[in-house]
Amino acid sequence: MGATRRDFLAAAGLGAAGLVLPGAAAHAAPTAASPRAVPYRAGQWLPSDEAVLDRWLRRTIREAARRGAPLHPVMRDFRNLIESDAVLFMRFHRMFEQVPDTPRFRRTPTGSPQVRNYVHMIELINHVLTTAPVFNRTGLVGFPINAILNWPMNTDAGINAFLDERVNAHLLRILNTWAGFLSSPESAYVLSTHPRAGWFGRDARAAMPGFARLYECDPSAPHWGFASWDDFFTRRFRPGVRPVAAPDDDAVIANACESAPLRIARGVRAVDRFWLKGQPYSLRHMFDHDPIHTLFAGGTIYQAFLSALSYHRFHSPVNGTVASVRVIPGSYYAQSPAAGWDPASPNDSQRFITEVAARAVIVIDADDPRIGRMAFISVGMAEVSTNEVTVTAGQRVRKGDQLGMFHFGGSTHCLVFQRGVRLRFDLHGQRPGLHSSNIPVNARLATVR
């Protein structure tokens, strides 16, 4: 067994042979939620119970200290950036000082934060770079870097620091380094049949029933035929599993992602103050100042979010022709100042990040003239640093054709329609919001009237 596998299983509360270690509460049978449980974590990327997150962070801190791995060059460069700029140096100090001094904000018995300062933060992220997420039915930590930054990114200093272009350029390098590990065979160690921690074990199969029937895989092969963690996470449905709704009826708009409805907004403005309470959409910023945004002023936006356990490719919602494609760099750990102390940052900032986060914009000229030109926007959130687009301008697409994918997980996405497009949405008996559940990809989402 390699050192990475052994170390990560230990950090997850499992011995090298997959045995539960003393105090490994995260893999024990579920217990009553602690008083600090929050009612939701959109997409289940982080545990709903803050106490579970506390235990994960404590184990990660112990394991990172035990390993004492030298800093990867990208982490050394990040530390040099912080320490070479007076404003960033101040903000990365202040973001830890501004975390409230109460038990809720994951402080030790001595009163200090579990993540003590930016140097400690860098050491913990350095540890994450050679690990892959282990399955955990009582508290999946699918966004480990997000978990490390969860409270500092809520502070005034954190909000400013994580909107800084230089910081985000370095974060992209860090996330790309981790993506390299997650795309390598070394990351496949978590794709095991261990009953509690393996992604093909008893607990995972209970959380993802019918996996072998739904997805292209080979249960008889090592790691069920997946070459890496990223290969597993960008898995494909088997042919016919997600049929396209009314493929020859141009009036029917299909769901672009396996995702849960978050919000429908009508009469959206070309420019708005998106950082305020309510987080209104601001088209100019969503489209990164591309003049094409003016076409959608006064139109409709549908936004939905993806789940940690679901499918992470996106597909064309209409029959038509790709008019343009843009991949826009942006932030990774920014949250809205209006969100306050979000216990699941950036859970409550999903509308805000459509204007500032790394994202891809695919504009499609729909065949149905009642729809005309529309846009699909994929938005990266936290560790989701890559919006890969697999179509090009001028390409014909049929409803249900793949447009691209999120690497390592999923995030949030928007469909944008012009003013005057009359839509009747079918949310499959749900109301939009953080408590909604997935609508199948390619299912009927709306009909133009």
Q: What is the pTM of this model?
A: 0.83
Q: Which domains does the chain have, with CATH numbers?
A: 3-190 (no CATH), 252-448 (2.70.70)
Residue 311 is predicted with a pLDDT of 92
Label the pairing between strands 259-266 and 300-306.
Answer: antiparallel
C-alpha–C-alpha distance, residues 151 and 137, integer Å? 23
DSSP 290: -
How does pLDDT run along the chain (449 residues), one tens digit per residue?
334 445 445 544 443 323 222 222 233 333 344 444 444 444 444 544 566 667 777 788 888 888 888 999 999 999 999 999 999 999 999 999 988 766 555 554 334 457 889 999 999 999 999 999 888 765 544 578 887 887 888 888 998 998 899 999 999 999 999 999 999 999 999 999 999 889 999 999 998 999 999 999 999 999 999 999 999 999 999 999 999 999 999 999 999 999 999 899 999 999 876 555 667 788 999 999 999 999 999 999 999 988 878 899 999 999 999 999 999 988 888 776 666 665 555 566 676 778 788 899 999 999 999 999 999 999 887 665 678 999 999 999 999 999 999 987 557 899 999 999 999 999 999 998 878 899 999 999 999 99
Residue with tokens 């070394």: 186
Residue 261 near residue 439 (C-beta atoms within 8 A):
yes
Long-range contacts (CB closer than 8 Å, 24 or more residues apart) made by 203-208: 203/135, 203/136, 203/137, 204/135, 204/137, 206/137, 207/135, 207/137, 207/309, 208/309
- With vertex at residue 111, the alpha carbon angle to CA 63 and CA 150, rounded to the nearest 5 degrees, is 60
Beta bridge partners of 7: none
